Structure 1
Amino acid sequence: MLRKILIALSLLVLPSLAHAADISGTAKVRAGDAVVIGNTRIRLGGIDAPAVDQLCLNTKAERWTCGIAARDELARHADGKNWICHARSIDRRGRTVARCEVGGEDIQKWLVRSGWALAYTRMSKDYEADEKAAREAKAGMWQGAFIAPWDWRVRNKKTTILGATKPPDGAHAVLLASASGPVAPSPDCTIKGNVNSAGECIYHRPTSRWYTQIRMKVSKGTRWFCSVEEAEAAGCRETKR
């Protein structure tokens, strides 16, 4: 009986400990809503940002890697600043879900208001007003057309398209595609990118020596680019061979 009482008490105490635990330090940005501080993987709670291989359309209906942009804008905004993350729970992937302050600023609020993430209202309504402000200002993803991150993960031909720009004919095909994977998102996206043993991002044109040997797999860190400019903007350099 005593053992059962102790177990019951421990279950009551553990959640409060999780909520009380703060994680602080500089962060390595992995995605628009995911960072690593020390050895702790953190998912920014209350928001949802595009995956790094998600594609969006700009005001000219041109495809762009909005997931990469969200990640890079967060990294640029938070560069060198101290993070303080208030842990809330653990998600199914083992990440700590937290609300984070960066240099005293609510970073989730900044991401949503800047148009690099959406308010994840299934979990929280804290950032609804910020999403409305971003939508009205046509900030970030809202400038063109895109699919909500949670819909993009389970996308199909009936998935709703959001944004300020009326989707042109064929928009669904572009927005349903991925910048990574075995199939290029469109016939003109023929440049292959991969990460070498030194951790550098390298891009290969169809005429380069190793082009046909690069196997495009999501798990291998490969991705497609639609132009040299796009590849270099993502921090990649051309192969030397």
Structure 2
Amino acid sequence: MLRLCFVFVLIAAAANAADMLTGRIKVIDADTWEVGGLRVRLHGIDAPELDQTCEDAHRATWSCGAWVTHVVRQNFGGKRAVCMRRDTDRYGRVVASCTVQGADAGEMLVQVGLAFAYRKYSGDYIADEDRAAAAGVGLHAGKVQAPWLYRGQKRKVASKGCDIKGNISSKGVRIYHMPGQRYYARTKISPVKGERWFCSPAEARAAGWRAARQ
């Protein structure tokens, strides 16, 4: 009986070892890291996409996705992580809970307002997000679209071919830009500001936008 228990202990230890990843962190974006040569999606959190914009307390648009990634890279890049595998996502990434210097990385990111609790998949960090939002720290100091909603909107635009950019100028003028026009490439769309994509010029005009002059 004792020998049988010992065998079970060895099997459990081997299973845990197979699910554990360790290594130096290379930050791909705020919630996606490379650890020990494997792409890891941090469990239970979601952070703004690299190209995502937000609105600050003064209603000015800023590149919150790039900022969050930069801050995470500065604070975690090169440090050693210990990660426990939980799943594999549809992109083939390992979904894992990671600790850095003994602290839960996901928890730290949510607590300081660099990421949100990914409530669709986990309830682990909801209380941390609620406290961060109440304190107005990090992203909660302004207005930000939930990353999963931002990605959903981008997929919808791509699937419909709706590539006309409905921009709102600093003077509040609603202007739509067609692909190929002079300022199309540099025009950024911020949904939190009320800007949007259109599928046709007629749709844009009906919504109150006018055509860009060049």
Q: Output the TM-score relative to the length of structure 2.
A: 0.65
1:73 alignment counterpart: 71
- 1 CA distance for matches of 2:15 and 2:148? 29
SS of the aligned residue for 1:154 comes to helix
- Matching of residues 77-226 of structure 1 within 5 Å: 77-155=75-153, 186=167
- 2 CA distance for matches of 1:185 and 1:82? 44
1:183 Cα shift?
A: 7.3
1:78 Cα shift?
A: 1.2
Does the Cα contact within 8 Å between 1:19 and 1:88 map onto a contact in 2? no
The amino acid across from 2:124 in the alignment is D
- 2 CA distance for matches of 1:45 and 1:54? 21
Deviations along 1:12-53, whole A, 9 cap, x unmatched? Answer: x9xx94895211111111111001123210000101111101
Q: What is the aligned-residue identity percentage?
A: 35
Q: CA RMSD in A?
A: 3.2
Q: Runs ≥4 in structure 1, deviation > 3 angstroms?
A: 16-20, 182-189
Deviations along 1:74-132, whole A, 9 cap, x unmatched? Answer: 11111432111111111000000000001111110011111111101111111011101
- 2 CA distance for matches of 1:79 and 1:19? 24
Does the Cα contact within 8 Å between 1:121 and 1:128 map onto a contact in 2? yes
SS of the aligned residue for 2:73 comes to helix
The amino acid across from 2:106 in the alignment is Q
Structure with the greater alpha carbon radius of gyration: 2
- 1 CA distance for matches of 2:68 and 2:84? 22
- 1 CA distance for matches of 2:165 and 2:63? 13
1:139 Cα shift?
A: 1.0
SS of the aligned residue for 2:153 comes to coil
- 2 CA distance for matches of 1:142 and 1:98? 25
SS of the aligned residue for 1:85 comes to strand
The amino acid across from 2:67 in the alignment is A
1:185 Cα shift?
A: 8.2
The amino acid across from 2:119 in the alignment is T
1:68 Cα shift?
A: 1.0
Count of residues paired in the alignment: 160
- 1 CA distance for matches of 2:87 and 2:93? 8
Q: Output the TM-score relative to the length of structure 1.
A: 0.58
1:25 alignment counterpart: 23
Does the Cα contact within 8 Å between 1:54 and 1:65 map onto a contact in 2? yes
Does the Cα contact within 8 Å between 1:52 and 1:71 map onto a contact in 2? yes
Change (3 A) 1:20 1:127: farther
- 2 CA distance for matches of 1:71 and 1:183? 28
Gaps of 5+ in 2: 1-10, 158-162, 171-180, 189-214
Does the Cα contact within 8 Å between 1:32 and 1:74 map onto a contact in 2? yes
Change (3 A) 1:112 1:19: farther
Gaps of 5+ in 1: 1-12, 157-175, 177-181, 190-211, 217-222, 226-241
Deviations along 1:143-185, whole A, 9 cap, x unmatched? Answer: 11111111111139xxxxxxxxxxxxxxxxxxx9xxxxx8778
